Amino acid sequence: MSAPKKLYIKTYGCQMNVYDSERMAEALGGQGYVETATPDDADMILLNTCHIREKAAEKVYSELGRFKGLKAERPDLKIGVAGCVAQAEGEEIMRRQPMVDLVVGPQSYHRLPELEAKARGGEKALDTDFPEEDKFEHLKGRAKARRGPTAFLTVQEGCDKFCAFCVVPYTRGAEVSRPVARVVTEARDLVERGVREITLLGQNVNAYHGEGPQGGDWTLAQLIRELAEIDELKRIRFTTSHPNDMEDDLIAAHGDCEKLMPYLHLPVQSGSDFILKRMNRSHTAESYIRLIERIRAARPDILLSGDFIVGFPEETEAHFQETMALIETVGYGSAFSFKYSTRPGTPAAERAQVDPAEADDRLQRLQALITRQQRAAQDAMVGREVGVLFEKAGRNPGQMVGKSDHLHAVHVTTDKVSVGDLARVRITASGPNSLAGELV
């Protein structure tokens, strides 16, 4: 029996790419590959790329350059590029880096086995189509090995919003949702393998409209309620959402679905109506704030997270101050903030850019405010009881680490819990990045 081939996958970007990498490994597992933690002994190196951050493509080319020595030493080594940079730059990648054997977009990775076979035969393999078939149904089923207590599950892909700064509609395609029955089947399989918390993923997850068991489209709230019927599934989360798709039934679910955790990532991007319009966000600062009020009325203890872009083309100091005012009004437990960077082919890339030094200054001020709010939210947890799902042993002897209902990292010194246990914990102290607690 021949030895298994080794696959090294490096994953960039969002949780959806983490999920995609798992599925790509499974697809190639059927071709005799097993994963390895280092590229040095790999038979195939696969970079699963993200196109959201600044200079994403150049970082991929730089990473590929590091593998030239390995390729020279082992000509049979196959190198592939997957994900959103692959989708955006397919043929250019092969032109600039002739050592690349395989390029596959995020909607075509179910075709990896045939692409790998083509590459093994000495041909260049390129597939950046948007195929009509459901890639999830064409993938090899998940192996039945035990899993950690948390898992991602993609339920929706693509986006129809066409924000002026974003490449997702071009790299991931139009919005498409997986049928309810297929999502539930995959969720049950994960639970059977030890998963206790599932995070539902989508580029615009609350636009979910998957086919229901009796026909007709279901909403994300309906899907969540169906998943909540799985006994050993203890927690449900979802990300990332758009304010325009936060419907009444999903707001209600935050108040009456016990397994839906009190944490919501709801990006706003800016507090300036002028900038929001130029971003093509289709909501206003006021409508966003009113939406937050409705969500908090349904679930008063919910912790909010957001996304912010500073230095967007045409943003003035006055526009930036409107963003700061919105942050003060809402109060975030966490947030992701970035300086605007151009994406070729998007409308905003053609506009006059904000001075980089000014954008840097605004980003530092905004992040300082978010940091204060984040620390205040953590400090407010001291003395409260929370649920904690334990995920691993801590660095200190006898310490266990997990995540609270509100997604805070919590460490407890105890010998009474194991990985996968869900327990009540009283928070005793707040640190810079985590909380300390004791079992109740």
Extract the annotated binding site for [4Fe-4S] cluster: 14, 50, 84, 159, 163, 166
Please count the residues of the chain.
440
Q: Which two tokens stand for residue 424?
A: 């009540």
Q: Is 174 exposed, middle or buried (0-12, 13-18, 19+ CB in 10 A)?
A: exposed
Residues at the annotated binding site?
Answer: 14, 50, 84, 159, 163, 166
410: β partners: 402, 435
User: What is the C-alpha separation between 21 and 16, in angstroms, rounded?
Assistant: 9
81: β partners: 47, 103
User: What is the C-alpha separation between 335 and 218, in angstroms, rounded?
Assistant: 29
- Is the CA virtual torsion 271, 277, 278, 279 positive or negative? positive
In this structure, what is the dihedral angle of CA atoms 387, 392, 394, 397, given to the nearest 10 degrees?
Answer: 110
425: amino acid identity, one letter = V
